[in-house]
Amino acid sequence: MNKLIHFACFTLIAIILVSGTIYVKQLMVQASETKEQDRKPVKEMQEENLKNRVTLAEEFTVLKEHKTEKKPLNKKFTGIIPTDITIPSIDVKASIEQVGLLETGEMDAPSTEDGVAWFEPGAKPGVKGNAVLAGHVDSKTGPAIFYHLKALEKGDEITVKDKQGTQLTFVVTNKQSYPRDKAPLNEIFGYSTGRHLNLITCTGTFDRSKGTHQERLVVYTELKAEEAMQLENEAKLPDAPTNVKISGNLLSWYAVREGNIIGYRIYKKVPGGTFTHIGSISEYERKSYVDKNILNAHYYVTAVNEYGQESAPSSMAK
């Protein structure tokens, strides 16, 4: 490592040491990507029956406001691997490298004074949790990449993107300086129900005996509200249809009152068989399906949204 940088602020991430015994390694479970449990498939047979399904626009007559071709169908957002950061208000534009834990249990630091480091074992930017970026404040030769980080104010925006060009915007909510050995690790690295990105650097008086500054500055940010709402909407499965019943040869149900439903799928099982997808009804059509061979059959209905996500089965009708 560059000894010059090391002398000035290479131990900037000693922020992870608390009372000399607590390390980020102990917070790894909390700091990793969102721990929300993945929903199991509605029915194992659904994947088999529907794996060769035509596109949503072909299956359902889709109204103009549902631009399904632009939606990330059935894809859960898992965050980005950041490669670049931009902070317009303090004229920062830098590349991001991935770092992990040192043998001591501390987070590694950026390898250059002009680069920014992302704590790769922790959360990815964009997921629920606290993603962490770190940068040097200075070196013997002068200011480093995060020298002006303390000038950030509430409402300032920070943009990170990955190599595919996916871009996320975070908004500053708070900033706080802590004594080097008393930073609130869980608040900085731990799990959160929000989508946060925390930036850290050195601040305060330089302690020559320790080879680092006496304090650590943490800038707290959260994903821009509009972007967070979009991710929440994409991740939410639709509700199941209700009041599913059979009257003669007619299967009917109540519509799901959500704005992004594009249609319904009907499933049927005959004695000795398994549930099979037998038809699809677009959202604007009557919520009913005629089956001439309804005797002794069992049915359920699911709702499908514009992201291609399918609800759990409705109650059974027979």
Residues 174, 198: Cα–Cα separation, whole Å = 10
Q: Which residues contact 208 (CB under 8 A, 6 or more apart)?
A: none
Q: What is the pLDDT of residue 52?
A: 44
pLDDT score, position 70: 43
CA distances from 291 to 46, 69, 74, 298 (A): 20, 31, 29, 12
| 3-class state of residue 36 by DSSP | coil
The Cα–Cα gap between 215 and 139 comes to: 16
Domain ranges of the chain: 36-68+237-317, 82-232
Is it the case that residue 4 has pLDDT exceeding 50? no
Whole-angstrom Cα distance, residue 12 to residue 128?
Answer: 25
Question: Is it the case that residue 121 has pLDDT exceeding 90?
Answer: yes
> In this structure, what is the dihedral angle of CA atoms 303, 304, 306, 309, given to the nearest 10 degrees?
120
As given in the structure block, the two tokens for residue 9 are: 């602020």
The 3-state DSSP class for residue 46 equals helix
The CATH number that domain 82-232 falls under is 2.40.260.10
Q: Which of 202, 213, 277, 298 is catalytic?
A: 202
Distance of CA 231 to the CA centre of its chain: 7
- Of the two residues 4 and 273, the one the predictor is more confident about is 273
The span from the CA of 273 to the CA of 271, in Å, is: 5
> Which among 136, 196, 277, 298 is annotated as catalytic?
136
CATH architecture of 36-68+237-317: Sandwich (2.60)
Which amino acid is residue 8, in one-letter code?
A
Q: Residue 314 pLDDT > 70, yes or no?
A: yes
Catalytic: 136?
yes
Comparing 83 with 214, the larger pLDDT belongs to 83
DSSP string, 148-206: TGGG--TT-EEEEE-TT--EEEEEEEEEEEEETT---HHHHHS--SSEEEEEEEEEEEE
Mean predicted confidence (pLDDT) in 7-18:
44
More confident residue, 295 or 208: 295
Range 171-185 average pLDDT: 90
Residue 235 is predicted with a pLDDT of 72
What is the three-class DSSP state of 296?
A: coil
Rounded-to-integer distance, Cα 188 and Cα 25, Å: 13
Q: Is 9 a catalytic residue?
A: no
**Region 270-294 average pLDDT:** 93
Give the number of other CB atoms < 10 A from CB of residue 39.
10
Instruction: Kindly report, residue by residue over 24-74, the tens digit of the pLDDT.
Output: 554 444 444 434 433 334 444 445 445 445 567 778 875 444 444 444 444
Average pLDDT, the chain: 80
Sheet holding 298-305, edge to edge: 276-282, 261-269, 298-305
Does position 160 have pLDDT exceeding 50, yes or no? yes
Torsion of CA 101, 102, 108, 112, to 10 degrees: -140
